Chains A and B, each alone.
Chain A
């Protein structure tokens, strides 16, 4: 997919140390019926840090990502964002979510609204930004992700890659403190993956705090400060990308990497 040889695009390590903790998961547990999908998860993400979560399907990585803005609830443990505990409901939760951008696997653009309206909706309705101002900002963001010429189309008229870039612009329009990416390229045709990853890499370069659940090892090498490997609901291993990909410590990570890197 992404050529790992272009790894030097971002100076990875180093910049992380400067940020204070932004997202903190402490002893998080979650069950789906009898299935223990998250088991005692402790994870701290610092301001400006890019964390890539990888692992086999069913390892709980997507669920983990979705708990951070409470699209999934947790059974025990705490989640803290920018020093404040994650609210359980109501206006407080809506305000928190406005500060946490999310990009979904299936884009989830509002099907009845144009690209421009998709990006403007959050700022206008959730933040009370004036329409004119929101429109300028939305157009600038669409320009930045390279789909400004599609602004007046409906999502269904766009390719998958374009839709996902609009979804990123929609999340960015809220000026979030952190961006969550839940397998953002898994539903894309191969030739469209890079156009989305390129946007994500440039975001990382700009210092956005990102938590990215993905199968794109190239992205992890290129942009991540840290790789978190999950299996069977647990965080099995955390390391800098170079270390993780060249010398994984755990058997499960070695096994996982051997399966995906042999082709």
Chain B
């Protein structure tokens, strides 16, 4: 039981890496995902097809497979992605971007047709309809699912443990192996730190969702 307080620095180190992976990959995934969503709703067929293919492939691929690709297969292409932090960031953001794209796209589609018809009917141009009516409403309904995507990302960073990144789960595994009498406690400590991220974020998503629901 003392394994948790005794090894606090190791936990905190892992926790810091997990947080940093989440934040950095999350920001990249948000940027790429929004761009992909823009392509996916574009009237230009080839761009739409490109984005759709990307999203469908990544969403139906296990994240482990993405890591596996970067770790073992990509080096055969001469893409020498050294195992480690930045490889994990690339994998996590590439994977999460697909889910960000879907969340954004469904947010846009959740804005009723009547809203943009009404905007057009009072003489707003395409840009005004988009900027004044559609996007402000899409942003509201997109935030709860986006928070969920980021919660999933926080948990997904654990896959990096299998590919030589010492984040929270990897730290916990080390502690579990070096404290054979206290493995359960060592792992429970890891769980605690994950819940520190996921439960508040989940509550936040719930609050935002309820707020959005009232505003309808």
- A residues contacting B by CB (< 8 A) are 69, 71, 90-91, 94-102, 104, 106, 108-112, 121-122, 125-127, 154, 156, 167, 170-171, 173-174
Contacts and interface: CB of A to CB of B under 8 A. Distances in A.
Given A110-B115, A121-B132, A156 B215 contact: yes
Interface string B127-141: 010001100110010
Nearest to B125: A94
Contacts of A122: 122-124
5 contacts: A95-B123, A109-B118, A112-B137, A112-B140, A126-B124
B209 to A, nearest CB: 16
Question: How many of chain B's residues touch chain A, expressed as a range?
Answer: 20 to 34
Main secondary structure, interface of B, reads helix
A97 B120 contact: yes
Interface in B73-112: 112
Nearest to B121: A102
Contacts, number: 77
Contacts of A69: 120-121
Nearest to B111: A111
Interface of B: 112, 114-115, 117-125, 128, 132-133, 136-137, 140, 214-216
A126 B128 contact: yes
Given A104-B117, A171-B121, 5 more contacts: A108-B112, A108-B114, A111-B216, A127-B123, A156-B214
A125 B132 contact: yes
Contacts of A98: 122-123
A171 B121 CA distance: 8
A126 B122 contact: yes
A126 B132 CA distance: 12
